[in-house]
């Protein structure tokens, strides 16, 4: 925390010589535990406060009457609260309707992408992980934002491009998690959103040239015929992302949902489809809600046509290896959550929820998770 405040103070001093500085912040204090011997999202049957807790400061200042600099520093419990720059970018307000940003930006993949870390901005303890739990949240590049009105409709478009770099923990053949770097070059994401009074709809499409090479797979891949091993490797392969979301909100009650699809056909990775539906009511300071989410990343085994072309004495062992490698990344589950939010006072919310996780591939991974949170903004 001391590091975070020191960085904020130094940044404020640098900005203040030329412009007024605006400093805002937010924090999530989240605790949780699972039922006996279960584990989910890093929680187990011992009460933990580090998995989803964080503290952040956002600093912005006007460079001139057209340009604004923004930085967001986040300290997460999972990283021992070591502060990191989550965002760092410049925005040029070209017209009243068009702005251009460049730097380290949040990828606009989901409805709550820009406020995913701001727990106060939504009714859950955390956003649905089946949809939002991707490793590629930020991009280094540019973004065009355009918004306008057409009659009673408000609409907005975003075009984002650049390079994505991230790290993902992958379980190796021995069951041990190993960090692996993911890189997506020439990434482009287009988003369109339209709002009419109490109704909102949102669509997104993106693609990028992606490399993700788990070193733990290489010993197995090297034993396979070259053409099949090259097909399984995710080495500069095209990844496609599609999403669709909606919201109906008349203030007293709301219903919303999002569905996404991620597909990298020429690789070991299965096509992932995820969605959630959520509904709630607002009664005084309380907002009870229910959410159901599904993640379907069950592998449909690829490259069996290449295996079938091999000599008969090779096709069986190679086919078994090809199947095993792809099944390592196969995931399919559903999650149902009942929760409540209580707006205790201005800018402070208390939350609690209970989630039941059902794994369709490994029943021993089923779990029940209880969480509570204090979210605030300042």
Residue 201 near residue 192, CB atoms below 8 Å = no
Determine the length of the chain.
378
pLDDT at residue 136, rounded to an integer: 87
**How far, in Å, CA of 88 to CA of 141, rounded?**
11
**Per-residue pLDDT at 6:** 46
Number of domains in the chain: 1
Answer whether residue 227 is part of any domain.
yes
CATH of the domain at 153: 2.40.160.10
Instruction: Evaluate whether residue 40 is within a structural domain.
Output: no
Largest CA distance in the chain: 75
What pLDDT score does 312 carry? 87
CA distances from 91 to 75, 95, 107 (A): 24, 12, 15
| pLDDT of amino acid 2 | 47
> What tokens does 102 get?
């460049």
Scanning the structure block, which residue is given the tokens 């959103």? 193
What's the pLDDT at 135?
83
Name the residue among 74, 94, 91, 92 with its Cα closest to residue 83: 74
User: Which residue in this structure is represented by tokens 């410049």?
Assistant: 90
The answer to the question of residue 45 being in a domain is no
Residue 167 maps to a domain: yes
Cα–Cα dist 5/369, whole Å: 33
The residue range of the domain holding 129 is 90-377
- Classify residue 370: in a domain, yes or no: yes
Q: How far is CA 211 from the centre of its chain?
A: 18
Count CB atoms within 10 A of the CB of residue 339: 22
> What pLDDT score does 7 carry?
46
266 falls within a domain: yes
Within a domain: residue 75?
no
CA–CA gap between residue 309 and residue 296 (Å, rounded): 30
The answer as to whether 235 is a domain residue is yes
Torsion angle of alpha carbons 352, 356, 361, 362, nearest 10°?
90
Residue 10: per-residue pLDDT: 43
What's the rounded Cα separation, in Å, for the pair 247 and 199? 6
CB 273 within 8 A of CB 130: no
Buried b (16+ CB within 10 A) or exposed e, 61-76: beeeeeebbbbbbbbb
Mean pLDDT by 10 residues, the chain (378 residues): 46 52 96 95 96 97 95 95 95 98 97 97 98 93 98 97 89 69 96 97 97 89 93 95 98 98 92 98 98 95 93 92 92 98 97 98 95 98
Contact 289, 123 (CB under 8 A): yes
Beta strands in 172-264, from DSSP E residues, in sequence order:
177-196, 199-212, 234-249, 253-263
| Nearest C-alpha neighbor of 318 from the set 299, 331, 303 | 303
Of 39, 20, 42, 15, the residue nearest 30 (C-alpha)? 42
Q: Taking the CB of residue 375, how many other CB atoms lie within 10 A of it?
A: 22
């Amino acid at each position: 925390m001391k590091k975070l405040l020191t960085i904020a103070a130094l940044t404020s001093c640098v900005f203040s010589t030329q412009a007024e500085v605006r400093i805002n912040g937010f924090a999530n204090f989240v605790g949780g535990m699972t039922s006996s011997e279960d584990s989910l999202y890093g929680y187990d049957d011992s009460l933990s406060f580090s998995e989803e807790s964080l503290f952040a400061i956002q600093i912005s200042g006007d460079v001139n009457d057209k340009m604004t600099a923004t930085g967001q520093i986040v300290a997460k419990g999972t990283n021992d609260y070591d502060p990191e720059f989550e965002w760092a970018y410049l925005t040029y307000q070209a017209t009243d309707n068009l702005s251009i940003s460049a730097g380290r930006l949040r990828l606009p993949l989901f409805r709550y992408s820009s406020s995913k870390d701001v727990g106060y901005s939504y009714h859950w303890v955390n956003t649905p992980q089946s949809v939002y739990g991707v490793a590629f949240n930020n991009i280094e590049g540019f973004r065009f934002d355009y918004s306008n009105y057409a009659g009673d409709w408000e609409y907005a478009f975003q075009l984002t491009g650049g390079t994505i770099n991230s790290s993902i923990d992958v379980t190796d053949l021995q069951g041990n998690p190993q960090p692996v770097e993911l890189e997506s070059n020439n990434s482009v994401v287009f988003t369109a959103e339209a709002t009419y009074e109490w109704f909102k709809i949102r669509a997104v499409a993106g693609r990028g040239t992606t490399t993700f090479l788990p070193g733990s797979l290489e010993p197995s891949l090297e034993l396979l015929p070259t053409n099949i091993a090259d097909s399984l490797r995710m080495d500069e392969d095209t990844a496609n992302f599609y999403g669709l979301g909606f919201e109906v909100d008349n203030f007293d009650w709301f219903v919303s949902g999002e569905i996404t699809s991620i597909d990298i056909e020429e690789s070991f990775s299965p096509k992932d489809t995820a969605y959630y539906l959520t509904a709630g009511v607002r009664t005084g300071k309380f907002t009870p809600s229910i959410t159901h989410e599904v993640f379907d990343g069950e592998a449909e085994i690829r490259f069996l046509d290449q295996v079938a072309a091999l000599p008969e004495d090779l096709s069986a062992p190679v086919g078994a290896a090809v199947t095993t490698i792809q099944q390592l990344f196969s995931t399919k589950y559903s999650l149902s959550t009942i929760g409540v939010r209580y707006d205790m006072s201005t800018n402070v919310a208390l939350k609690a929820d209970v989630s039941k996780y059902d794994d369709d591939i490994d029943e021993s991974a089923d779990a029940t998770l209880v969480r509570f949170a204090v979210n605030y903004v300042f």
